[in-house]
């Protein structure tokens, strides 16, 4: 097949695009308040949304990177609130072929949501059961799922190893992330304060956590 006539000047080398993008992000954003070992995660999250000021609202606990990577290396599952997050995880990067689960389509979810008087996303969290113990949780869509997780833990339920808490939205998103940051006993976590968040940010964080190789992990 013949390629189209080149009419524009643009970079075509994938690795070069990533290198230049990450250099631009590092030049235009400030990650100095974050743990040093979390800088690559911050860069990948900025890359996913195109907003270099994201780092102003990014908060990562000092124990988050160690806790998350240790859990993944031990084979812990990744539990998420959205199929978009589950689909975005690049499975070959995962160190132990870790399970990535979203139970939103489970046939029990609708009935549980009605019984609990909550959203389907929140009800699906209850179905994680014992798999939640020591898991890596990534919530990128539903604030109700994050609130429900915190309520389960407060009632004595299983505790995850770490939480990527970046639900997006105008109702409850900022509040759910504030609740995670204030929860005691503290769970290692990453949050984006305020309304911003979303599945793309959650995926970017997970993929950065799964593999250290910044450029090689990005170019397929």
Q: Which residues are catalytic?
A: 47
Sheet holding 189-192, edge to edge: 58-60, 189-192, 162-165, 136-139, 78-80, 100-101
Measured between alpha carbons, how far is residue 216 from residues 14, 19, 85, 102 in Å? Answer: 10, 10, 21, 27
C-alpha span between 127 and 111 (Å, rounded): 12
Measured between alpha carbons, how far is residue 155 from residues 118, 148, 150, 151, 158 in Å? Answer: 17, 11, 9, 6, 9
End-to-end alpha-carbon separation of the chain, Å? 21
| Burial class (CB within 10 angstroms; exposed 0-12, middle 13-18, buried 19+) of 181 | middle
- Which of 73, 64, 70 minimizes the C-alpha distance to 94? 73
Instruction: Tell me whether strands 100-101 and 162-165 are parallel, antiparallel or unpaired.
Output: unpaired
Identify any residues that bridge with 136 across adjacent strands, giving them in sequence order: 78, 162
C-alpha span between 125 and 128 (Å, rounded): 6
């Amino acid at each position: 097949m013949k390629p189209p006539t080149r009419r524009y000047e643009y970079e075509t080398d994938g690795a070069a695009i990533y290198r230049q993008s990450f250099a631009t992000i590092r030049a235009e954003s400030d990650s100095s308040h974050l743990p040093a070992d979390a800088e690559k995660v911050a860069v990948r999250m900025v890359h996913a949304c195109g907003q270099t000021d994201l780092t102003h609202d990014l908060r990562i606990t000092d124990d988050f990177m160690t806790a998350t990577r240790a859990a993944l290396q031990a084979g812990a599952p990744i539990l998420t609130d959205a199929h978009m997050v589950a689909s975005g995880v690049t499975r070959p990067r995962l160190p132990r072929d870790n399970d990535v689960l979203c139970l939103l389509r489970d046939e029990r979810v609708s009935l549980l949501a009605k019984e609990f008087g909550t959203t389907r996303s929140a009800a699906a969290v209850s179905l994680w059961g014992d798999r939640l113990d020591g898991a890596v949780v990534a919530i990128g869509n539903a604030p109700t799922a994050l609130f429900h997780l915190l309520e389960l833990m407060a009632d004595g339920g299983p505790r995850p190893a770490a939480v990527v808490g970046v639900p997006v939205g105008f109702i409850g998103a900022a509040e759910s992330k504030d609740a995670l940051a204030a929860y005691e006993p503290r769970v290692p976590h990453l949050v984006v304060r305020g309304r911003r968040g979303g599945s793309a940010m959650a995926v970017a964080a997970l993929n950065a956590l799964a593999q250290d190789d910044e450029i090689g992990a990005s170019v397929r």
